[in-house]
Structure 1
Amino acid sequence: MSDTRALYSDTELFAASLFQLKVSVWERTADDIPVRVEDGGTIERITPISVKINGTNYVRSDCEFRVSMSDIRS
């Protein structure tokens, strides 16, 4: 996860959606180990509660959304 950047705010998520960046989704296990549950897709919808990527809604409070730094620079 070191070459990625987490998206926290509505503005960051909206910008990733606008520029159609590939966003990966991470969840933490009961042992607090981060696990990637979505390899990367474009954001289809953002609500205060969830983010829809590749047809799946992910609860914002349960997930971390990340973009590759190489995608941001290019």
Structure 2
Amino acid sequence: MSESKALCTDTELFAAALFQLQVSVWERTADDIPVRVEDGGTIERITPVSVKINGIYYVRSECEFRVDRSGIKS
């Protein structure tokens, strides 16, 4: 199983967009269980409120954005 890294800051989101990394989107259920709602796509647009991936806008305060660590070069 590969490990993923959460993109928490504006800088991390912009870097993922710049390098066209595959970003997955996760939301938490009412029981606080993380569920993947987008398997992976490149970031098309970033606003203070949302991130657009594969033509869908995801609210930043309600979602977690992750990249597979294997796609990140140290």
C-alpha deviation, 1:55, in angstroms: 0.1
Structure 2 unaligned residues grouped into runs of 5+: none
Identity rate, percent: 80
How many residues align structurally?
Answer: 74
Corresponding residue for residue 59 of structure 2? 59
Taking the TM superposition and a 5 Å limit, the aligned residue runs for 1:2-13 are 3-13=3-13
Q: Deviations over 1:5-50 (max 9, x none)?
A: 0001110000000000000000000000000000000000000000
Q: CA RMSD in A?
A: 1.6
Structure 1 unaligned residues grouped into runs of 5+: none
Corresponding residue for residue 39 of structure 2? 39
| TM-score, reference length from structure 2 | 0.95
Q: 1:29 to 1:2 in 2, by over 3 A?
A: farther
| TM-score, reference length from structure 1 | 0.95
C-alpha deviation, 1:2, in angstroms: 6.5
